[in-house]
Structure 1
Amino acid sequence: MSARDLSVLASVILIVAMLIIPFPSWLLSLLIIVNISLALLVLLTTMNMNEPLQFSIFPSLLLLLTLFRLGLNVSTTRSILSKGEAGDVVETFGTFVVGGNILVGLVVFIILIVIQFIVITKGSERVSEVAARFTLDAMPGKQMSIDADLNAGMISEHDARNRREKVGREADFYGAMDGASKFVKGDAIAGIVIVMINLIFGIIIGMTQQGLPIAEAATRYSLLTVGDGIVSQIPALLISTATGIVVTRAASEGNLGQDIMNQLLAYPAMLYVAAFTIFMLGVATPINDILTIPVAALMGIGAFMLSRSPKETESDMMEMEEEVEQDEMKSPESVVNLLNVDPIEFEFGYGLIPLADTNQGGDLLDRIVMIRRQLAIELGLVIPVVRIRDNIQLQPNEYRLKIKGNEMARGELLLDHYLAMSPGVEDDSIEGIDTIEPSFGLPAKWISEEMKEQAEIFGYTVVDPPSVVSTHITEMIKTNAHELLGRQETKQLIDHLQESYPILVEEVTPNPLTVGEVQKVLAKLLKENVSIRNLPIIFETLADYAKMSSDTDLLAEYVRQSLARQITSQYVQGDASLKVVTMAGKVEKLIADAIQQTEHGNYLSMDPNDSQGILEAVASQVEQLSLMEESPIILCSPAVRMYVRQLTERYFPQVPIISYNELEANVEVQSLGVVNLG
């Protein structure tokens, strides 16, 4: 243990000793001076802190100082009643305050008690209760504000974590201060009781045991009682004042002295008014002019000096800002910062600012928080922070979504309209502005609020603009989730998995698979809209097959087969049958014969006429299923599944390609068509 730790422990042991062991008078005098010094140090510290959390140990320190002061009271009481003395400090304070008049000393002491107990302690206790209550009530709002700033890209994950910790520490601090203020109140009451004991029993002991006359006993023990009360109440008053400062202190960039001077003297004109008032007070009343005129003159001179300084300060600040801007433009860091690319950016024209402005009822930030949570559950991927900003280069009602600096989507919103999507049969009575629903490319109309109810009656799907853009953002992130999963993000997922499955992770990475190879497997799954949330199963499969092959395409196929139950539930709801389009046997054989095997992996090398014919056949089947209002799913054998995907993904990226091994055995499959060559 360090010397500081030992000194704190020794102080606590000393407090216990004072309650039990009689101390000599010289040691009591020394401890009284130490008590006053500590109280003064605490008061000065509270005045120089910028925010209460800079003195977070204050509640515990308050308890220790209170016990120390009460221990001194017990020791001095024991010395006064047993020896008729309590050291030079107590006697000196008593003599100095009393000044030869016992009654005056008692009155002064009572005034100190009233000031501490009624004014400062009572007020500090009430403020502590209110501060604790409001701090706890404000916690949810502060947490939401942190989440909003994080989603807007205004702060990083590290900053958000620090701010959340600070919110928690503030709640703990003010809760502790609420309890600690009770110590101060109890200390004040104990001081009054101890003084009464010293005075009454001191006189009795002086008369009965020491044989003093009642007048001499009253004089002597009144002197010691007042002295003991003063030396205990002065530190108590300082600590109570420090408590009041802590609980009433708001966070700022300066300490209490700076804030008082800056804010109290912020309006020089008010000093002129005060100076004139004091001057007239001396002129119009019998108060001596010698007292009022100098004070008025000082206030007037101060007002004149303060009125000049802001102009000089403002010009100096403007010059400094210009110099700083020029230096920043010349520094290499200003260019390096321009190289940063945000993973996801959402930009909008000035007409869509109400979407993100909470003061105007916008809830886009909250919606993005929910989107990130929803996609984390659906995809098993931690979506990066979405940076939201306005862009004057866009049209007023236009927005666009960028992923890693590249524009992925663009759309237009009419904030005073609703988007109505037809159920299939349009009604001419529904008037609006024709448009295309941005997420799924469906024909739609922007209708006014007056037409909303009528459109819903005719079966139209009506959504508000925030829901339109939220859905668009969600679908685009889903479609491009594989681009958001890099090696760094993969390492974070692996580290999270390792906390629960350390042996499993060690068997897969870094040997036989590197983080980059694991990332390629996960990205292939995400690209085909397969969730990677079930990482334990994915890693179990990689552990089984990675030693036989390092081909990430083949490993992804093995993983898909291990996730058969998940993939089945993704396309089959309940006991319904799975409606698919199958591949003809000769088409599968044609694809299998076109597979070229190399030492770097396998790839499809097919005659252009054959590939064109297969694509046309797929297009024909997809069109027929669309007319039947069925979602197209192509079912093929496991041997050619990934090659069929390679062939079709450029032209039909949203059409799922699944193999027989990726379906549960109890699933009923209904073939609605066959991909065949004519």
Structure 2
Amino acid sequence: MAAQATKNKRNNAAFMDIGVSVFVVFILAMIIIPLPAFLLDLMLIINIALSITILLLTLFTKNVLEFSSFPTLLLITTMYRLGLNISSTRLILTVGEAGRVIDTFANLVAGNNMIVGAVIFIIIFVIQMIVVTSGSSRVSEVSARFTLDAMPGKQMSIDSDLNSGLINEEQAKKRRNDLERETQFFGAMDGASKFVKGDATASIVITLVNLIGGTLIHSIGEGMPVLEALNQFGKLTIGDGLVSQIPALLISIGSGVLVTRSGNAKSFGSTLVPELFGSPKILYMVAGILCVFAVIPGFPILPFLLLAAVLGGSGYLLQQNEESEKVARISAEQEALAQERTQRNKTREDTLTTFQVDAIAIEIGYGLIAIADDSKEHNLMNQVQVIRKQCAQEMGILLSPIRIRDNLQLQMNQYVIKIKGNVHAQGEIYLDKHMIVAPGETDFVFDGIPTKEPTFGLDAMWIHESDREMADLRGYTVVDPLTVLVTHLKESIYKHSYELLGRQEVKQLLEGLKETHNVVIDELIPDILRLGEVQKVLQNLLKEQIPITDLVTILETLADYGTTVKDAELLTEYVRQALKRTIVKAHLDDEQVLHVVTVHPNTEELLTRNIQKSSAGSIPILQGDIVTRLFDNIKKIHSPLDAQGIPHVLLVSPKNRPALKNLLTYNFPEIAVLSLNEVPNEISIESAGMVDSIEG
């Protein structure tokens, strides 16, 4: 079967070669052998059909290589038209007629007025010669030059793709062949465009010869009146010129369309319509302009309004179609992402026991699935990796992988942040909007969705993308939805970092340090302290937002005091004193000054007398009214300083520091409590106030 198909293909190719050869020989024969009028009519009709076919082919061609025979075809059709011109000229000069096709063209265009026909013929000639042919010739010349100049770079690109494994040898060979054919095509078009220009020049010469020669031959030789001869041969000449020039114009247009196509793998129509009529805004604007023209006195109202209505309606339908496609596309993407993530989670969960929970997890509603698409450059996956690196650099902790899940029980735009299976934070974001936070007490002037910034609880609003630039100009802080979620996640991790530091994470930290500081680790664990006791000290530090990046100092301090002290709280205080420069650095102002709020000596003494130890640490046991007065006095000092943006700490005696911090943890978690031993001597201190006595 395959052999028979190959044989038939060869026979067809041979038949086509013979047919084309016979056609070319026939063109040469037309120049010598006279054609009868009926055969000339048939040849002219074939010429018109051929030119229309070529024009349509160029419009539907997706790539110039699909019509690589066009330059040669341009030469053959040019010779064919010239042969027809010679045959028609012979008939006009010998018998005074040239068939029904030429006669019909002459009567249709010129009618009874030869001057009208001559003017139309000249206009067609000018359009073809000056506009179409000249432009196509220039484009062909430039395209040939640029294609030839770009050939080495394209060949290097093909070789690079082949070496990197993106394509195989067969594909590379095809690309090289296509590149060579494309270069040859534009080079051939550069020369073939000269055929069309010469054809147009020859046509005008032949037309003048027909007019002058026919008039002289039949008026002088056969005694026909000069005016009658001029009228008859003028009409025939115009008809002959139109019959040849109109197909030539069609082929010239096809040539221009073919060489002006950019590197688009689509047909001309499928590229033009979406680009020309693909913007509803443009259609609305054009419709509005036409309506303005309609009301100008003197213009016809109905055509302008009719066309404006058509464009406006088209713009509306196009806008609705775009919105429907956008919704459908988003739904399809979210569904695909949900299926992919479900399958991925299922694969992962198959390796885990059902009762295990993730240290950190983010659950998102179905409307937020797009931000977890790892195929996009700006996605939640990448940001999570950045957060893990930041936590390692800034806090010194190694986070376990953060799981991201979609949860259909959540609202569309809702997310929750879970730590060890429990919800610790939640919020709502809109992927098609931006959040703005007002500077100071400025009111929002946009039409949006009022909300609270989830991380710091500030008044905020979700606005449309179109209002983003205006909000930025007005001084608002503009935040994209992914940044809102990432900031909330980062702050939640920092706030609960001590909960995320388990024995396994501590062991990993120690193993990473053991290569360079194995002596202190071998001395400390397990001879002096157990791993769990070291973990407790590190957790105490992280609970007060003290980074454990200087792990060597922490371990050496524990080794120094661990032999005599086993209390984790007291060991933490010794470590804090060793890290005093790191602790104080976070609370200095721009001038490197530490603003401190001191406590009245009576209050300090009262706290010292009532400190009791518990499993949760030291805490002062005070009556309720005394605690209330203490909190009120602290708030009286803290609130104004916080409103003015002045960083400050509460400075107390070393013995009272852990107990007072534990007491203030729930009411004033943002206040840092430092002991006198934690302030380096070289640090400048400035008093910001004193907490009054709480004794009655």
Q: TM-score, normalised by structure 1?
A: 0.50
Larger radius of gyration: 2
